[in-house]
């Protein structure tokens, strides 16, 4: 068994290793979230936000990202790739591993179909720990949407969900939230085209 050893690694490299590869669209989304978060803040709040923005800049350093992506690809191959990662096709949704399944099944419109027994919903592998709960009533949805800025007809809004995490849960960093939100958009498009995003056999809805 081959073991990859990283010598003289920085804290930034370690942080980047445990996160999914950051695409340009994700980087742009994070920058927009950061910029809009400054609006309406007090002086103290602005300084706090600046500290967070500086930490984000360290995380997205190009040299660190280049090293980390290589390591992540190796680890994904050894561990089966069961992690939060970008999905770019209906086939990718249908073949999603258990970790991504939990987040895909939190998308409200598909979750509603699942509870109405109108879709497959990864029937051979997905375990619904909160049957009947959709949207804000569902803890996984709340973790995905926690502190995410949303464009509404009345302007930009953000909701914080101060849930106490269970032992098997963890807070999602912004780039992973964006990966999941992109998957949700793909789920919504699949539903609109009558494709079941959670059926490995590509059955119609």
Give the residue among 116, 56, 91, 65 at the shortest CA–CA distance from 183: 91
Domain ranges of the chain: 11-79, 90-192
What is the model's pTM?
0.65
Q: Residue 94: CB partners within 8 Å, gap ≥ 6?
A: 196, 197, 198, 199, 200, 202
**Residue range 184-204, pLDDT digits in tens:** 999 999 999 999 999 999 999
**Residue range 104-147, pLDDT digits in tens:** 999 999 999 999 999 999 999 999 999 999 999 999 999 999 99
Residue 136, phi then psi, degrees to nearest 5: -60, -20
Bridge partner list, 131:
none
**Residue range 58-76, pLDDT digits in tens:** 445 444 554 554 455 445 5
Q: Residue 178: CB partners within 8 Å, gap ≥ 6?
A: 25, 26, 29, 30
Instruction: Return the minimum-mean-pLDDT range out of 83-87, 104-108, 152-156.
Output: 152-156
């Amino acid at each position: 068994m081959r073991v990859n050893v990283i010598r003289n690694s920085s804290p930034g490299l370690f942080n980047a290793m445990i996160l999914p590869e950051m695409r340009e669209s994700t980087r742009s989304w994070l920058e927009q979230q950061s910029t809009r978060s400054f609006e309406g803040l007090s002086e103290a709040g602005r300084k706090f936000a600046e500290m967070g923005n500086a930490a984000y800049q360290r995380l997205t350093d190009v040299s660190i990202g280049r090293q980390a992506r290589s390591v992540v690809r190796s680890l994904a191959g050894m561990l089966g790739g069961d992690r939060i990662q970008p999905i770019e096709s209906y086939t990718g949704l249908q073949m999603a591993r258990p970790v991504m399944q939990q987040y895909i099944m939190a998308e409200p419109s598909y979750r509603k179909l699942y509870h109405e027994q109108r879709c497959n919903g990864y029937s051979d592998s997905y375990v619904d720990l909160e049957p009947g709960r959709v949207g804000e009533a569902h803890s996984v949805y709340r973790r995905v949407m926690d502190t995410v800025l949303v464009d509404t007809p009345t302007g930009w809004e953000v909701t914080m969900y101060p849930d106490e995490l269970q032992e098997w849960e963890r807070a999602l960093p912004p780039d992973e939230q964006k990966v999941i939100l992109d998957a949700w958009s793909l789920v919504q498009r699949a539903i609109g085209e009558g494709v079941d995003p959670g059926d490995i056999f590509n059955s119609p809805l």
